[in-house]
Chain A
Amino acid sequence: MNEAVRNPAKPTNGPIIEIENLSISFFTRKGEIPAVMDFSCTVMPGEAMGIVGESGCGKSTVSLGIMRDLSNIGRIVGGKIKFQGKDMGELSDEELRAIRGNKIAMIYQEPMASLNPAMKVGQQLMEVPLIHDKVSKDEAYKRALDMVRAVKLPDPERMMRSYPHQLSGGQQQRIVIAMALLSKPALLLLDEPTTALDVTVEAGIVDLVKGLGEKFGTSMIFVSHNLGLILETCDRITVMYSGEAVETGKIKDVFDRMRHPYTQGLFRSIPLPGADKNSRPLISIPGQLPLPHERPKGCNFGPRCHHFVEGVCNAAEIPMIAVEGHDGHFSRCVRFNEIDWEALPPGAKKVNERVVPGAPVLQIEDLRKYYKVGGSEVFGSSEGRVVKANETISFMARESETVAIVGESGCGKSTLAKVLLGLETASSGRVKLGNKEIQSTGIEKRSVDTVSSIQMVFQNPFDTLNPSHSVGSQIIRTLEKFNVGNTVADRRKRMLELLDLVKLPRAFETRKPRQLSGGQKQRIGVARAFAGDAKVVVADEPVSALDVSVQAAVTELLMDIQRKNKTTMLFISHDLSVVRYIADRVVVMYLGYIVEQGTTDQIFSPPYHPYTEALLSAIPIADTSVVKRHIVLEGDIPSAMNPPSGCPFQTRCGYKKLVPDNLCETKVPPVKHLGDGHMSLCWLADDVLAKMEPVIKFDKEHAALEGVPDDAPHGTGPGFAGDPPKRPHGKTGSAEADAEGQVAENGEAVAKARRHEVRDEVSETGGISSSANSASAPIMPQTVGDGRQAEKATRKPRKRKGD
């Protein structure tokens, strides 16, 4: 690393930033709206602080407040922000400008919006040293180039010459990070930096961000809604709710022994390994975030909390209270010492019977969908390229079964949905709904019966309802279209029943969509899809745009209705955690191909398709007890306009060298049957597949064997709080990690392998294992064991018995 990137900002022993009782309000027509209240936090040099919370909780306002970049209606009404010991409130505009972008840099969610589309990347990067350090042009170019190299972009010289639109989303975000680092900031603010990116690309960015603290001594404030990401990148965490920090502390303390009911609620509503839709369903937080001007007295979370006690929780404003035994762990809950942290909220404990799938409802055979692009409309030029959006898609879905279709953007899952719904017709192949072939019948030509029996739930709740019509009229229109009911009164009755079904008050009939929250809108979307007793419901990422606590409720609702109606559900998603929770079978797609399909158990345990393996590893899991193998894919998803030859995944596959004769690059692999309907599109030989190791060490059978009832006591260690019974604690993980470490010590590091920066001071077991040349070792290209969980295992030897 050269001089441009080595020298961190002025080394200080005190905290980089100290926020004391910060309050920020927005002043609007309706008066003062407090956005952040009494927020305090301290970030030490080289430390990463995560701020997590749902939308509207004020986490972005905090980061903007630090930059003093609140829009003209926002104002800091109380508290202090001290940056390197200086109170920022006392600095002049001039001094603030010198700090912004120089000592504090910010990275936003949308990389394209942060880059100037009219300037070349190199120019934009050079601006930073030119303006802040007043260096010569050559020097600036040199520094910029070094930084592009430091953020691991391929072909740095070419990158410097490109315009932002010529780069992919992941590359753009790397450029933005490079730009932020060029000024050698002491503090880096990251506001949801990976939300707009695909999972495997996100994993690469997270990998990059994670090392920054050690490499450059930069402190970070990482704002995100994703607990898993915070776990992977940060040292400490602050949980925010409705404008207040409700809990703060070290990652380990907060994740394993949370002391605020809201934090616990968040963890219970995300599908961590161990949650099961039949035996251990998710527990959602009831109610909604209070509006900023309707916050209750006392604890803001009170109305939604099942530990709420009248007169205690709503008596007075609650300060942050220290949790004894933990350094720097605070909670804004007056009752955390009295609460039984194991207790489930009333009515939450329910066990659903496993649904037995019935006869096949939807059969897809060898489906292909090609698009012609480029030809001119008027002059009918024949020069056009063919985009193969779907290639040889074959799978089947049975009655009351949930089939998940997993893949990143551009994999063809949306095209598949369009073909199924008749918005597009197939180029070839067959789609059978019941006994009817529907692949070449467009939606206009389909009978009412067919149309109503295959319906869709859309992704974006803010887009799924027409803002101009009332909720009731939109459902009634759907009923009318599906010939449900004979009279207007009939349909209205049915509409009200549907509102009951999705657990919304009947008064919503007359509401306009803008009066509803995201989750409520999505419920209406669900009601609409089930209005005509659909046989097949295609759910296109139905919860990915919702807040964590709402996600659980909508997911549960979808499954309840599905169970009741025996509906077949095609669940399109990129989030494997949700998929593992909800799906019976999984179809993994990449660049238009199905690369792997099988039951959920088959997909989530080896042998994997290499892409599935990477996808599994890329997903951030908010559980300190999970051990993940670390696989970061090189590069980006190729464009469907210009797909690679041979296997679609060969450009990023780490196993390619294990296949003889360069087959991967020349021929599309055959579908390999691995037994029991488990199919994989890969050239890898059986013996290689057989040696694959699980990506996520998590032992479901073991948990079942133990037969731990939900309410049984689990005081097996200090880490037990919240809902550990819901997720087995890294029982197998630690031993493996130790073994990996030993292998790595003698093994040679693969050139491409990235060293996983081990965060936890206790564990030193992170290592690199390469098996390309050693037959005995498990096969894990670019793989590193995550040492984080090893520590847990040493603390709880009892838990390892079942391995």
Chain B
Amino acid sequence: MQVEYLSAFNVVLGVLARFWPVWIALALVMGASFGYKKKLGLYGQLFDSGVGIVGVGICLFWLFTAIFASTVAPFDPLAQVPIMKDALPGAIDPQSGLAYLFGGDKLARDVFSRMVYGSQIVLIIAPAATGFALMVGITLGLPAGYYGGRIDTVLSFLANLVLAFPVILLFYLLVTPGIMDTPIPYAMAGLFFLFPIIFFSVLFWTRYKNRPDRLYILLGLTLVVGGWIYAGLVFDADPFKIIHIDPNQLNIFVAVVFASSPGVFRIVRGLVMDIKTRDYVAAAQTRGESPWYIMLWEILPNARGPLIVEACLRIGYTTILLGTLGYFGLGLAPESPDWGTAIKDASRLLRSFIHPALPPTIALMSFVLGLNLLADSLREQSMKD
């Protein structure tokens, strides 16, 4: 059976057309943001510079791609159509009549669909892992910077220890099947996922200690929601069966949090050491505020600028890290459509077929570039005030 091909122009048109839900969502969100940019604070100011618009655009593009992946992708990312093995871009699947827009890979899967679905994995794990890393880094960085002295020495030493350890080796150790059978990943998950609950409990406790009406509601909410997610993630014991994470992904998650949090810790520590010399901190001390109130309510809000930038950059690093993990075949299932795995698969045949390698590479690059541009322009805009 002869496979028919689309022309290059039709391939481009076809790709643009497949993304139609993404374009609509993008137009709506960007249009609305642009129209109301005066009222949107820092986010609105991003639309004042070209770099900011491009950064936001790229990030939103991948976000919507992940959300609408099932509509955008013409094929199941795991489905194999034997005839399409190593097919060139634009090949038309004779059964469904749909085109393999970016061609097929060596296992005859649609490269385009795999790239689109790959964004889902990245956009779930990278921001979430960064979020947890931020929580851990902030919760430990605040006291280290604020108290200084022995606490600082010990915590900084631990952070340096983790940072000094080769990251790849660390992942080999953490994400190998042998380790996965031991309780170590679960113990670490149990530890790391505790931090957000501690963080928010302390946050509300220090602020509303004297106002029981608010305190109990907020604390209760934190504990119930936190406990629920905690049970689901760590023990896989969600009573409603909504929150569930693969042991594989949990493992990666824990490894990424473990590797990123020392970086966040250092930044938070430095910021706190700077901000704690301000008069408003002294003013809080002289009215008898507790140290944790000062850290969480007086210091942390003023560190938010650099932290937001840091979060953006760190999501980028994490994306690259996930790519690296996939490339080494660590953690994720061999058939998973994530970008790193796809690059690895394609790299083996790079001499004969280059087309399966390009889409995931460009996807990864553009997403990280978008995040970096976003971080850049956030930093620039927050400096302007």
Contact = CB atoms under 8 A, between A and B. Distances in A.
B280 A446 contact: no
B289 to A, nearest CB: 7
Interface string A412-454: 0000000001110000000000000000000110101001100
B302 A468 contact: yes
Contacts of B150: 377-378
A481 B289 contact: yes
Contact of B280 (A422, A463, A481, A482): A463
A358 to B, nearest CB: 24
Contacts of B210: 480
Contacts of B181: none
Contacts of A377: 149-150, 153
A29 B48 contact: yes
A569 to B, nearest CB: 15
A590 interface: no
A246 B140 CA distance: 56
Contacts of B380: none
Given A466-B298, A466-B302, A468-B302, A451 B280 contact: no
A544 to B, nearest CB: 13
B176 interface: no
A452 B288 CA distance: 9
Contact of B286 (A443, A459, A467, A469): A443
Interface residues of B, number: 24
Contacts of B287: 451-452, 455, 478, 481-482, 528
A464 interface: yes
B70 interface: no
A464 B280 contact: yes
Contacts of A443: 285-286, 288
Contacts of A482: 287
A459 B385 CA distance: 22
B286 A421 contact: yes
A459 B279 contact: yes
Interface in A727-784: none
Contacts of A378: 150, 153
Give the interface centre of B150, B211, B283 by most chain A CB atoms within 10 Å: B283
B333 interface: no
Contacts of B302: 466-468
Nearest to A532: B287
B39 to A, nearest CB: 15
Interface in B193-246: 210-211
A316 interface: no
A446 B285 CA distance: 12
B183 interface: no
B279 A458 contact: yes
A423 B48 CA distance: 45
A478 B297 CA distance: 13
A794 to B, nearest CB: 50
B282 A423 contact: yes
A447 B107 CA distance: 74
Interface string B261-286: 00000000000000000111011111
Contacts of A460: 279
Interface string A183-197: 000000000000000
Given A29-B48, A466-B298, A467-B302, A448 B288 contact: yes
Nearest to A455: B286
Contacts of A444: 288, 290
Contacts of A422: 286
B146 to A, nearest CB: 14
Given A29-B48, A466-B302, A481 B288 contact: yes
Nearest to B157: A378
B20 to A, nearest CB: 36
B286 A466 contact: no
Nearest to B303: A468
A448 B289 CA distance: 10
B97 interface: no
B166 interface: no
B288 A458 contact: no
Contacts of A465: 280
A423 B285 contact: yes
Contacts of B279: 458-460, 463-464
Interface in B304-349: 304
A550 to B, nearest CB: 18
A456 B286 CA distance: 7
B352 to A, nearest CB: 54
A349 interface: no
Given A446-B288, A448-B288, A456 B283 contact: yes
B286 A463 contact: no
B285 A514 contact: no
A507 interface: no
Contacts of B385: 514
A467 B304 CA distance: 12
A490 B153 CA distance: 45
Nearest to B289: A481
B286 A488 contact: no
A474 to B, nearest CB: 8
B50 interface: no
Nearest to A531: B287
Contacts of B286: 421-423, 443, 451, 455-456
Nearest to A528: B283
A488 B211 contact: yes
Contacts of A528: 283, 287
Given A443-B288, A444-B288, A488-B211, A458 B149 contact: no
Contacts of B283: 456, 458, 464, 525, 528
B298 to A, nearest CB: 6
B150 to A, nearest CB: 6
Contacts of A448: 288
Contacts of A446: 288
A485 B288 CA distance: 17
Given A443-B286, A451-B287, A514-B385, A463 B301 contact: no
Interface string B34-53: 00000000000000100000
Contacts of A469: 297, 301
B156 to A, nearest CB: 11
A467 B48 CA distance: 23
A479 to B, nearest CB: 10
Contacts of B301: 466, 468-469
A421 B279 CA distance: 14
B288 to A, nearest CB: 4
A770 to B, nearest CB: 46
A309 B48 CA distance: 43
Interface in A190-225: none
Contacts of B289: 481
Give the interface centre of B283, B285, B287 by most chain A CB atoms within 10 Å: B287
A756 to B, nearest CB: 39
Contacts of B288: 443-444, 446, 448, 451, 481
Nearest to B148: A377
A378 B156 CA distance: 12
B277 to A, nearest CB: 9
Interface in A479-535: 480-482, 488, 514, 525, 528
Contacts of B280: 463-466
B377 to A, nearest CB: 14
Nearest to A465: B280
B246 to A, nearest CB: 39
24 contacts: A29-B48, A377-B149, A377-B150, A421-B285, A443-B288, A448-B288, A451-B288, A455-B286, A456-B283, A459-B279, A463-B278, A463-B280, A464-B279, A466-B284, A466-B302, A467-B302, A468-B304, A469-B301, A478-B287, A480-B210, A480-B211, A481-B288, A482-B287, A525-B283
- Interface pairs A-B: 6 shortest CB-CB: A468-B301, A463-B279, A458-B279, A451-B288, A466-B280, A464-B279
Given A446-B288, A528-B287, 10 more contacts: A377-B153, A421-B286, A451-B287, A455-B287, A458-B279, A460-B279, A464-B283, A468-B301, A468-B302, A514-B385
